[in-house]
Copies of this chain bind each other. A is one copy, B any other.
Amino acid sequence: MNYVRNAWYVAAWSSEIEGMKPFAITILGEPIVIYRGESGRLAALEDRCVHRLAPLSLGRCEGDRLRCMYHGLLYAPEGKVVEIPGQQQIPPRAAVRSYPIVERHSWVWIWMGAAEAADETLIPPAVGLDHPDFILGHGQLDYEAEARLINDNLLDFSHLTYVHAESFGAGEEFASTQAKIEPVERGIRYQRWIENSLGSSSRKSATPMDSYMVYDFLIPGVLLMTGGVFPLGTAAECGYGTPDLSHAVSGTTFTSQAVTPLTAKTSRYFFSWGPHRDHGDEAVRDILMGIAGKAFAEDKVMIEAQQRVIDRSPGAQIMPTAHDKGVTLFNRLIEKLSREERERVGIAA
């Protein structure tokens, strides 16, 4: 798996980690147990007891500690064994890896790289479910596919015309014209104006308007998208650049999406979506979530089928098209960052 390790991966919704109940997840192939101790503190440990390799996620929370329920070894949230039943001395090596873990924007984020390099400023600025400006629904899907294929999907929106012909309802012109794509810090930015349009199924207008969408796609695989509908002529007025979103007359929504590689061939996809308070209410949110539910199922069918084809096609080459600019920029960035990580480890060794 060629993924960046020095990055924050979404491991769960905050609400999934209940108090005193260990939660198991595998990220980048590493089994991890997350738990929220008595004090409310989150911890993320390697999910494998040092004694006989039983999973700690079958364990029992005791205060802020976690006890392996096979033979009773007790772990501190930093990973050290602090009790071995029937044995006085605890060997210094009796410890599992502890992962930096942060709760923010309604997600639980885990840093998969070197703990000393963990930098909370690198957490992508997602919009949490409790954000005052947006009314958000949320969901998640597990994929039998590598995360890279889902990232690729989210980096080339020309698929909306085909995969989502029946859901998002973008027309032919969406695929036949190019969006503006440029690199940003740890990711790419995608912007596009659709002029003189009655909107799509998720953003309809009674009269022709200019519609704008923008998203950042950030390391390790987080999409943050917004936009809005503007009076006819706004696109040209701002030179097809970035409008002042507060001038949108309708249709402003926000979606945060995160792709987490579980194993080499499985992934978890988290998403929220909903309208700005000024442009919608709970009913609009429910309509949007209905559309998203249909559309994300369409992606899943296509991407899992694509994965199966890839698996039986060793050596098959891809052939990028003009729409692949975002895909190419982002994958080169992954390549560069993960190479730098490997080199850094090489120097340290």
Contacts and interface: CB of A to CB of B under 8 A. Distances in A.
Contact of A48 (B87, B162, B178, B313): B313
Nearest to A320: B51
Contact of A70 (B93, B177, B302, B322): B302
Given A51-B321, A86-B178, A87-B323, 11 more contacts: A26-B312, A52-B152, A53-B313, A58-B305, A70-B163, A71-B156, A73-B321, A84-B321, A85-B158, A85-B321, A86-B175
Nearest to A88: B322
Contacts of A312: 26, 29, 31
Contact of A302 (B48, B51, B54, B162): B54
Query: What copy number does this chain have within its complex?
Result: 3
A158 B69 CA distance: 11
B159 A70 contact: yes
A306 to B, nearest CB: 5
Interface in A23-76: 26, 29, 31, 47-48, 50-55, 58, 67-73
Contacts of A321: 51, 71, 73, 84-87
A106 to B, nearest CB: 29
Given A48-B313, A52-B318, A322-B87, A72 B306 contact: no
A194 interface: no
A45 to B, nearest CB: 13
Contacts of A58: 301-302, 305
A167 to B, nearest CB: 13
A302 to B, nearest CB: 6
Nearest to A157: B71
5 contacts: A70-B162, A72-B158, A85-B321, A85-B323, A86-B323
A309 interface: yes
A29 B52 CA distance: 25
A114 interface: no
A86 B301 contact: no
A168 to B, nearest CB: 14
Interface residues of A, number: 55
Contacts of A68: 162
A54 B308 CA distance: 9
Contacts of A159: 70-71
A319 interface: yes
Contact of A53 (B162, B309, B320): B309
A51 B158 contact: no
A178 B86 CA distance: 7
A75 to B, nearest CB: 13
A69 B175 CA distance: 12
Contacts of A308: 55
A286 B89 CA distance: 42
Nearest to A172: B85
A161 interface: yes
Contacts of A316: 48, 53
A94 interface: yes
Contacts of A318: 50-53
